[in-house]
Amino acid sequence: MTPFIILTIIIFLAALFGYVNVRFLKLPTTIGLMLITIVFSLAIFGISFYDDTLLDIEEYIITKLDFRTLLLDVMLSFLLFAGALHTNFEQLRVQRWPVIVFATLGVLASTFLVGTAVFYIIPLFGLQVSYIHCLLFGALISPTDPIAVLGILKQAGAPKKLETKIVGESLFNDGVGVVVFLTIFNIAASGGSEESTGFLHIMELFGAEVIGGISLGLAIGYITYLLMRSIDDYDTEVIITLATVMVGTALAQKLHFSAPLAMVTAGLLVGNDTVRQSTMSEMTETYVDKFWELIDILLNTVLFVLIGMEILVLTFDLEYIFAGLTAIPIVLICRYLSLLLPIEFFKNRLQFVPKTNLIMTWGGLRGGISIALCLGLTQDMERDLFLVMTYVIVIFSILVQGLTVGNLIKKTQNTQTVE
């Protein structure tokens, strides 16, 4: 089966499932696609007891596609640029300090809280996992997924101040989360050698990935701004933005910088109102926005179809499933605690909406990034266990939290209005 045929099958399924969702279920895209694809995969699994042809085809597609590389090295840059391009820059500028703290200290705090809690609770299921490997799980499950969050919040009617905090945190914390994950991964892979665990080495990795990524994004974004300002041709300017993402991602990977952070930074720079007014005509702005909205929808559709299909790689061990179910409240409680101090510190200065911590905890969805990071674990890092746990959390996050976060927002805001 050629790559073109594989891609054709995935796009066909994405179109079919998207149609079914819009025509019948009428759920938010990410939720509907994930639900339909999981049901589809389970149905194929059931049919395989009588005829395993469809199961063999789906398993072949999954094995031929490197989900981790496809998402982290390719799709994520496009999705984050598209998300950042349409983010309210002025609101983000006002909320920049809490967003930065949520995306850095919040991720670090959650990583250690989740890792420590899992380390002490996992033996209850007859499983023994080292502390460093539990921290790896904490690192991969702590970042909220901007891809999942963006689409759902648009339909949830969240106040702009709150939406900016959640979206801004999600755009940045995945890049930081990847750096934290890679740092702990290197320590675990080296067996905790002094060279890999030294403070200077960790700071060097963090600085190269984070600071380098943001600096590259600023440079790429500024060059894009200069190019677009010097012409007025909407089709060429659309192609320039596409080249920005592709060249920026390639450079970040070559220089070992964080490509996600680079693309978020470039997207925010190109998309802010001041730059738009000085570089884009009304027609150019319309075409650029529509192009990136289409890219966002297409890649989101493909991503959540692939997430649903990846369920076939799981090891269905009862202990693993129970561990995953137990991890759901652990992850939610740890996220609540990791946000507690920053929210208390900033809430009076920036007039946070009521129940900000509760909404950010429930609205902090997990998605493809956590699964992609987990797929990068080795077998001796408890890959099978953590993959099942991650999948259980992601499914709960998208289907349960995603479906109810809108009602939670409306309830908390209406209660405050009545008071």
The predicted-structure confidence for 78-94, as pLDDT tens digits, reads as follows 999 998 998 878 888 88
Residue 196: per-residue pLDDT: 52
> Would you say residue 150 has pLDDT above 90?
no
> At which residue do the structure tokens 């099942």 appear?
388
SS3 content of the chain, % helix, strand, coil (to 5): 85, 0, 15
Q: Quick one: which of 277, 278, 294 has its CA closest to 238?
A: 294
User: What mean pLDDT comes out for the span 43-47?
Assistant: 91
> Would you say residue 415 has pLDDT above 60?
no
The percent of residues in the chain predicted with pLDDT above 70, rounded, is 93
Can you give the C-alpha Rg of the chain in angstroms?
Answer: 21
> Would you say residue 331 has pLDDT above 90?
yes
64: burial class by Cβ within 10 Å (0-12, 13-18, 19+)?
exposed
User: What mean pLDDT comes out for the span 382-390?
Assistant: 95
The model carries a pTM of 0.91
Q: How confident is the model at residue 194 (pLDDT cuts 50, 70, 90)?
A: low
Residue 225: per-residue pLDDT: 95
Q: Are 201 and 153 in contact (CB under 8 A)?
A: no
Range from 13-22, 61-70, 249-258 carrying the lowest mean pLDDT: 61-70
Domains identified in the chain and CATH numbers: 3-64 (no CATH), 69-418 (1.20.1530.20)
What is the rounded CA–CA span in Å between residue 118 and residue 392? 15
Average pLDDT score, the chain:
88
173: burial class by Cβ within 10 Å (0-12, 13-18, 19+)?
buried
Query: Count of alpha carbons within 13 Å of 65, Cβ hemisphere only?
Result: 27
User: What mean pLDDT comes out for the span 36-54?
Assistant: 90
Residue 417: per-residue pLDDT: 45
> Would you say residue 341 has pLDDT above 80?
yes
Which range, 338-342, 349-353, 354-358, 365-369, has the best average confidence (pLDDT)?
Answer: 338-342
What is the rounded CA–CA span in Å between residue 298 and residue 7? 13
Q: Are 363 and 405 in contact (CB under 8 A)?
A: yes
What is the rounded CA–CA span in Å between residue 128 and residue 121? 10
> Would you say residue 279 has pLDDT above 70?
yes
Q: How confident is the model at residue 311 (pLDDT cuts 50, 70, 90)?
A: confident
Q: Are 174 and 369 in contact (CB under 8 A)?
A: yes
Cα end-to-end distance, the chain, whole Å: 62
> Would you say residue 112 has pLDDT above 80?
yes
Torsion sign (Cα): 372, 373, 378, 383 = negative
Residue 149 backbone phi and psi in degrees, to 5: -70, -45
The percent of residues in the chain predicted with pLDDT above 90, rounded, is 51
> Would you say residue 13 has pLDDT above 70?
yes
Neighbours of 226 (CB within 10 A): 10
Q: Are 396 and 167 in contact (CB under 8 A)?
A: no
User: What mean pLDDT comes out for the span 261-274?
Assistant: 92
Structure tokens at 94: 């006002």
Neighbours of 113 (CB within 10 A): 20
What is the rounded CA–CA span in Å between residue 206 and residue 362? 28
Residue 354: per-residue pLDDT: 83
What is the rounded CA–CA span in Å between residue 63 and residue 79? 24
State the Cα torsion 53-54-57-58 to the nearest 10°.
-150
- Helical (H) or strand (E) element with 331: helix 318-350
> Would you say residue 419 has pLDDT above 50?
no
